[in-house]
Amino acid sequence: MDFAQLTRDLEALRSEALAQIVAAPDTAALESLEVEILGKKGRLTGILRGIGALPADDRPRVGAVANTIRQAVEAALRDRSAAVGGAELRARLLTERVDVTTPGRPIARGSLHPSIEAMADIARIFSQFGFVVHESPEVEDDRTNFQMLNIPPDHPARDLWDTLYVDQPGYLLRTHTSPGQIRVMQAMRPPIRALLPGRCFRYEAVDASHGFEFFQVEGLMVDEGTTLGDLKGLLDQFARAMFGANKRTRFRPGYYPFTEPSVAFDVECLVCGGPGCPACGRSGWMTILGAGMVHPVVLRNGGLDPERYQGFAFGMGPERISMLKHGITDLRLFMENDLRFLEQFA
């Protein structure tokens, strides 16, 4: 191959390259052309491989022509890239334009967990009767959790609470919120109207109606002349505020070591309204809490004179209240963090 042929090939390459660059529709096509023409394995490099066969005097002349063509192609690429890139940017700005006057997307609102919501409802209702929320520790000593509540170490009632003990001897995860009664009585003087919500723990198998971790709300009222009739009237008002104004209620005999007498408090079945159904065991009633008059031993352990003061206490599970109120059949749903369940309470 001689000098004249190489020069003709280079000029032909320039003409063809410039025409292709002008016709390139977008930046991607231009980038492809740049690699095809000027890359290490491009067409210009392929033509210049023939320089080695030329006489030494002709090689600089061919190199000068090649440099001129390279500069012309690079300049054409820059100009076309600027034009095509500007057009692409304008088109992108039109398609991605944001109308700042358009209303924004609604933000999904969260909701309270049904257990927390039930506790808030319970606290709101009892606050209307002067009850104030108090907190007590989740890790208790055996003396406060059991013994000061009239449950000595050899008492058979301990079998009612499957206890979880901690490493420190004599301490445990509280099995109920009732030890808060002792702490409130020791810290305050009557009249006392205290509400004690919190988590409790028991060593139990988890199923549809039992859990090893659950919430309770304890109520305590101590004053001179407090009676079982006061307790009945208060719980009647609570049941009607929580479940409806026309709901019937009743007391049934019960047993708790720290109250005497003890009662179970029932409300008319929320499903059938009284005739009886599977939900209420065909009885027409649903138990919502346990209660009773504070045992004189417990009053004395709380630093109060049972000859002067009387009191009543009640305890309920907010999950149980939610299950009755919303028709929930499985206690485990409250602890599974399943959004399909929780979003129903939004």
Q: Do 31 and 135 belong together in one domain?
A: no
* pLDDT greater than 60 at residue 1: no
Q: Do 175 and 59 belong together in one domain?
A: no
Per DSSP, the three-state class of 324 is: helix
Cis status, amide bond into 60, omega within 30 of 0: no
Cα torsion at 17, 21, 27, 30 (round to 10°)?
0
Tens-place pLDDT, residues 117-157: 889 999 999 999 999 999 999 999 999 999 999 998 887 77
CA–CA separation, 324 vs 299, rounded Å? Answer: 33
Which domain-ending residue is among 68, 95, 122? Answer: 95
| Inter-residue contact 172 to 142 (CB < 8 Å) | yes
> What is the band of 279 on the pLDDT scale with cuts at 50, 70, 90?
low
Q: Do 172 and 242 belong together in one domain?
A: yes
Number of structural domains the chain divides into: 2
> What is the band of 52 on the pLDDT scale with cuts at 50, 70, 90?
low
The DSSP output letter for 103 is: P
Tens-place pLDDT, residues 181-206: 999 999 999 999 999 999 999 888 88
> What is the band of 208 on the pLDDT scale with cuts at 50, 70, 90?
confident
Is residue 109 in a domain? no
Q: Do 134 and 271 belong together in one domain?
A: yes
What is the pLDDT, as a whole number, of residue 178? 93
Q: Which residues pair with 198 in a beta bridge?
A: 216
Q: Do 218 and 166 belong together in one domain?
A: yes
Q: Do 87 and 119 belong together in one domain?
A: no
Q: Do 88 and 139 belong together in one domain?
A: no
Is residue 286 in a domain? yes
Domain extent, residue 41, equals 3-95
Q: Do 303 and 201 belong together in one domain?
A: yes
Q: Do 214 and 316 belong together in one domain?
A: yes
Which domain-ending residue is among 51, 67, 95? Answer: 95
Tens-place pLDDT, residues 239-262: 999 988 888 899 999 999 999 999
Task: Tell me the one-letter amino acid at 69.
Answer: I
What is the pLDDT, as a whole number, of residue 85? 84
